[in-house]
Structure 1
Amino acid sequence: MGESSNTTGRSNWSGGTGRTCYCGSIVRIFTSKTPTNPGRRFLRCGGTQGQRCSFFEWVDHEVAIIPELLQRMKHVEEENLLLSASILEIRESLKSLESNFKIIKTCALLCTFFVLYHAFI
């Protein structure tokens, strides 16, 4: 758990705390969007960019399960794509088999009529 973070473009501000930091600015709560700390809340100096001090503090304890769950979700999504492709292939095969079945059924009916026709002639 580091004491610093590059949060530019990778966090959401969610409000002030009423606390002040090293430079006297109001400390603000942010939510991390980094792959290593997704959804984890932290405090940072609320000063304007370029005038912020180095104040940084995690609000939430590190939850090791979140990165693992994100990885598992990625694997499930990849498996879902593969299964969707397999379903498309199976549907195409089914259409082909149904078409072949219709042809065979038609041939069988023609053969039956042919045999019956010659049996009664």
Structure 2
Amino acid sequence: MVRGGNVVATSQFTAWTPNNVGRRFNKCSMPKEQKCKFWEWVDDELPLRVTTLISNLKNENEALIRERNLLLMKVVEIESVLAGDVAKIEYFKELDNVKRRQ
């Protein structure tokens, strides 16, 4: 990006603050020791209704991700218990087979 006759290396980001949720902006992407103070909005300010909707959807998505992760942990626990139960069943079947052969 060119600003004031100078080329500025920028990166684009998305704001997640309550007042600017989902709004994109550019800022200098140089390392800290070379960073300039360049910063500008890409998007116009969004209506309150839109920022509220985006914020609510983001919160709902985060809650669903947390719920999914908890369910995945429960699946791992259940699979572990079932694997142990299957091993016990196999052990007792083998023990029963040994007794029958005697």
Please tell me whether residue 113 in structure 1 is matched to residue 92 in structure 2: no
Say whether the 8 Å CA contact 2:15–2:24 is kept in structure 1.
no
Q: Which has the higher helix share?
A: 2
Q: Secondary structure at the match of 1:38?
A: coil
* Pairing 1:6-25 to 2, within 5 Å after superposition: none
Structure 1 gap ranges (5+): 1-29, 43-47, 50-57, 115-121
Aligned length: 77
- TM-score scaled by length of structure 1: 0.50
Say whether the 8 Å CA contact 2:14–2:22 is kept in structure 1.
yes
1:56-107 deviation digits (Å, cap 9, x = unpaired): xx44323021111011011111111211111111121121111101111101
Cα 1:39–1:103 shift into 2, 3 Å: same
Structure 2 gap ranges (5+): 1-11, 26-35, 38-43
RMSD: 3.3
Which residue of the partner structure matches residue 39 of structure 1? 22
Q: Secondary structure at the match of 1:83?
A: helix
| Bigger Cα Rg | 1
- State the percentage of identical aligned residues: 21
Q: In structure 2, what is the Cα distance between the partners aligned to 1:86 and 1:94?
A: 12
* Pairing 1:53-64 to 2, within 5 Å after superposition: 58-62=44-48, 63=50, 64=52
Q: Aligned letter for 1:105?
A: K
Q: In structure 2, what is the Cα distance between the partners aligned to 1:80 and 1:61?
A: 32
1:21-68 deviation digits (Å, cap 9, x = unpaired): xxxxxxxxx9750331321368xxxxx95xxxxxxxx44323021111
Which residue of the partner structure matches residue 82 of structure 2? 94
- TM-score scaled by length of structure 2: 0.58
Q: In structure 1, what is the Cα distance between the partners aligned to 2:78 and 2:24?
A: 46
Which residue of the partner structure matches residue 65 of structure 1? 53
